[in-house]
Structure 1
Amino acid sequence: MTFEAYEAVVDESGHEARGRERQALSLGIDRLERIQRGPFHIEEQVESLLYVRRLWTIFIEDLSHPENGLPDQLRADIISIGLWVVREADRVRDEKSSDVMQLIEINRLIRDAL
């Protein structure tokens, strides 16, 4: 395999990974929007918030990995956003907040930036 061919495979797999990340974020956004619209069952709210929390936990773990190819500052910024998302999802789930709109907006911003 030539270097150019390898580079194309790496670029393509990165593109596919971003597509999967966009898709996962879109699903989380859809779930959060259902909560925002209401009415909903408490189980649906908990499942939706746990989905978003797990998704961001996976992102944070990936970004923390030394082999992650993003620049250090960008990784740190996205990790900070992810930690906020996790905390805010927990606050909504624990009924310390009822505003899901901020979660929806930040997830849209990140999804659209991919």
Structure 2
Amino acid sequence: MTFEAYAAVVDESGYEARGRERQALSLGIDRLERLQKGRFSLEEHIQSLLYVRRLWTIFIEDLSHPENGLPDKLRADIISIGLWVIKEADRLREEKSADVMQLIEINRLIRDAL
């Protein structure tokens, strides 16, 4: 395999990874939007917030890995956003907040930036 062919495979795999991240965020956004409209049972409400929390935990773990290719500043900024998302999802789950819209908006911004 030539270096150019290898580089193309790496580029494609990065593109595919971003696509999977977009899909995962879209699923979380859909669940949050349904939650906002009150279309979930209490169990589904909790599971939706736990989904968002787990998704961002995975993102943070990936961003924290030393081999992550993003610039340090960008990684730190996204990690900060992720920590906020996790805390806000916990606040919603614990009924200390009722504002789902902020979570929806930040997840949309990140998804659309991928």
**TM superposition score category, shorter chain reference:** over 0.9
Equivalent residue, structure 2, for 1:105: 105
Deviation at 1:38, TM superposition (A): 1.0
> AA paired with 1:32?
L
Determine the C-alpha separation between the residues in 2 that align with 1:52 and 1:6. Answer: 34
> Alignment length, in residue pairs?
114
Q: What runs of 5+ residues in structure 2 fail to find an aligned partner?
A: none
Determine the C-alpha separation between the residues in 1 that align with 2:70 and 2:106. Answer: 20
> AA paired with 1:64?
S
Deviation at 1:39, TM superposition (A): 3.9
> For each residue in 1:31-84, what CA deviation from the matched residue of structure 2 results, as whole angstroms up to 9, or x when unmatched?
000000114211111000000000000000000000000000000000000000
TM-score relative to the length of structure 2: 0.99
CA RMSD of aligned residues (A): 0.5
TM-score relative to the length of structure 1: 0.99
**Mapping for residues 1-114 of structure 1, pairs under 5 Å:** 1-114=1-114
Runs of 4+ more than 3 Å apart: none
Report sequence identity in percent: 86
Determine the C-alpha separation between the residues in 1 that align with 2:102 and 2:43. Answer: 21
> For each residue in 1:1-51, what CA deviation from the matched residue of structure 2 results, as whole angstroms up to 9, or x when unmatched?
111001000000000000000000000000000000114211111000000
